[in-house]
Structure 1
Amino acid sequence: MTEPRQLDPYASPKTFYGAELRRLREAAGLTQSQLGERAFCSGTYVGQFETAVRRPQPDTSRLFDEILGSGEHLQRLCRLARENKYPDYFADAAELEQMAATISEYAPMVLPGLLQTEGYTRDLTRAAQLFAPPEDVDDIVVTRMDRRRLLERSTVPELWAVIHEAALRIPVGGPAVMREQCRHLLELGRNHHRVVIQVLPFEAGASAFLSSTVIQMSFSDAPPVAYTESAYTGQLIEEPRLVAQYHRAYDLIRAAALSPKASLALIESLAKDYTTP
């Protein structure tokens, strides 16, 4: 159970949602655990909503309204609290990323967002948002660059990225952009004490996640989750059996990849290739 903490209910839609959920729960004479049991979740999960640690979820908010007899009150607040600078399908994963102790990512065709340079992100965004006005592209690039601040922390999270060789050989933005991107990966892989980079080579053949990006996150005080993404959509996975299956598959991919040292040697070779016409 998450202990109550002092929050300003009016600091944000998320804190107002948490305050209202707590008010309605206490008025119904329910503990966090009792409400969680009726809503098919844990009392800790309820507490994370009440303390604004987690963003409210539409399906859970609907169940809370039904259990607490609050009409659609929490569902309406949920819609306000879920407004975010990230696409809705990624917003929950982005929030959890801030709390993760470890992040393990597999990138088959596009480099991990936390490892991208601004030039790589900009060209990738232009290709994906072909008809978007320049200011929208700028907003996406700024948001992506803001995510990288995770790596500026002194302790957590630890980041382990397995990148398919294909993602390194697709010339996003052209040779100059890819040269800068490869050098950025080399800098992180050699000098950042919380970043490990491996490359899955072409000769490794088929792997479990060839068609989609997969991010796994573990936490010091919560169960692990997985997130999978393809073009314009993504899904946060919290069901323990599925999360364990993703974890096993990721371990096999990591085992088939080049060692960190050999991976950096390949990336260095590619950086030279992008330098030489």
Structure 2
Amino acid sequence: MANGSRQAVWEFFGAELKRRREDAGITQVELGARVFVSGAYIGQFEQAIRKPQLDITQRIDEVLQTDGIFERLCRKLIDDRRYAEYFAEVVELERVATRICEFAPTAVPGLLQTRAYAEAVTIAANPFVTDEYVEEIVGARLERGHILKDATRPEYWVILHENALRVPVGGPAVMAEQLEHITTLAHDRKVLMTVLPCAEGAHAYMTGTLKLMEFEDAPPTAYTETEFSGNLLDHPAVVKHAQRAYDLLRAAALSPRASLPLVESAAEDFRRCASTT
């Protein structure tokens, strides 16, 4: 579904939500209280400014007795075949987050990937797919990264494990370009990047990625992912536990000032290696 078409359906979602809510004689504040978000958040759904999570649409259907229409619309909108089913909702949340904090234990996270790096990762995981498939997946990943260039971009904090700087994904030239891209974003103050050194070995047990997302008028969420699955977590106690885990990782990481030269040095090493091959 094209971006324009998706936005048109979200606008229909909002207009229909407003109509059904008013027909039921319920204010935005009242509906928000009954589905555990603020009234302002309901207003943003209705104006298609913010996109609701699937569980919120399910509660809206229950309160308004709308026979699942909002859940079905939401599922259609997050059913983007360019993303794994468990990740599509995360993409929508990234677009409206005010802060994203991410830990990447083995590879550069999608929001920071260059085209060449994303192609190498995609082909490594799917060696028998067509060029068209690779282009579709890579295009979607690069599209996600645009949020870091928008004027309304979220604060983006990322902790890169040193492993992500050393594994030559796509070869030395690809890695040099990728690491230089990260340092450019850091110099431009579009990301706050730190590195967790290999010397902090005990933290390597955390092999999955961790992403924390905060929003203006909604509770924070956490997302964890391993190679074959991902979990979007919104239970307050679980999110609090994830936030503590991230705080411990951040405490063990180098400072941003010390991290930047490390990434620049790794990029220079790869660039030198590429020039001799």
- Normalised-by-shorter TM-score class: 0.7 to 0.9
**3-state SS, counterpart of residue 131 of structure 1:** coil
Larger mean CA deviation between 173-182 and 153-162 belongs to 153-162
Q: TM-score, normalised by structure 1?
A: 0.84
Q: TM-score, normalised by structure 2?
A: 0.84
Native 8 Å contact 1:208 1:249 kept in 2: no
Please name the residue that 2:102 is paired with. Answer: 105
Please name the residue that 2:3 is paired with. Answer: none
CA distance in 1, matches of 2:220, 2:68: 31
**3-state SS, counterpart of residue 66 of structure 2:** coil
Please name the residue that 1:146 is paired with. Answer: 143
Larger mean CA deviation between 156-165 and 144-153 belongs to 144-153
Question: Could you tell me which of 13, 20, 24 is aligned with 2:20?
Answer: 24
Return the offset for 1:263.
1.7
Please name the residue that 2:224 is paired with. Answer: 228
Please name the residue that 1:264 is paired with. Answer: 260
Letter in 1 for 2:79: E
Return the offset for 1:106.
0.6
Letter in 2 for 1:118: R
Letter in 2 for 1:180: E
1:129 aligns with 2:138: no
* 1:93-242 pair list within 5 angstroms: 93-154=90-151, 156-189=153-186, 191-207=187-203, 210-242=206-238
Please name the residue that 1:7 is paired with. Answer: none
Letter in 1 for 2:113: Q
1:248 aligns with 2:244: yes
**3-state SS, counterpart of residue 119 of structure 1:** helix
CA distance in 2, matches of 1:13, 1:161: 33
Native 8 Å contact 2:149 2:190 kept in 1: no
Letter in 1 for 2:157: W
**3-state SS, counterpart of residue 15 of structure 1:** helix
CA distance in 1, matches of 2:101, 2:34: 33
Rate the CA distance shift 1:133–1:202 in 2: closer, same or farther, 3 A.
Answer: same
Rate the CA distance shift 1:23–1:248 in 2: closer, same or farther, 3 A.
Answer: same
Return the offset for 1:12.
1.9
Return the offset for 1:120.
0.7
CA distance in 1, matches of 2:126, 2:45: 33
Return the offset for 1:214.
1.2
Please name the residue that 1:5 is paired with. Answer: none
Native 8 Å contact 1:36 1:46 kept in 2: yes
Mind listing any 5+ residue stretches in structure 2 that lack a counterpart?
1-5
Q: Show CA shifts across 1:6-60 (max 9, x none).
A: xxxx962222222222222222222234334444555445444333234344444
**3-state SS, counterpart of residue 96 of structure 2:** coil
Return the offset for 1:164.
0.4
| CA-based RMSD | 2.6
**3-state SS, counterpart of residue 207 of structure 2:** coil
Native 8 Å contact 2:37 2:217 kept in 1: no
CA distance in 1, matches of 2:267, 2:40: 47
Native 8 Å contact 1:165 1:199 kept in 2: yes
Larger mean CA deviation between 44-53 and 212-221 belongs to 44-53
Return the offset for 1:188.
2.4
Larger mean CA deviation between 141-150 and 82-91 belongs to 82-91
**3-state SS, counterpart of residue 199 of structure 1:** strand
Letter in 2 for 1:230: T
1:73 aligns with 2:80: no
Native 8 Å contact 1:55 1:81 kept in 2: no
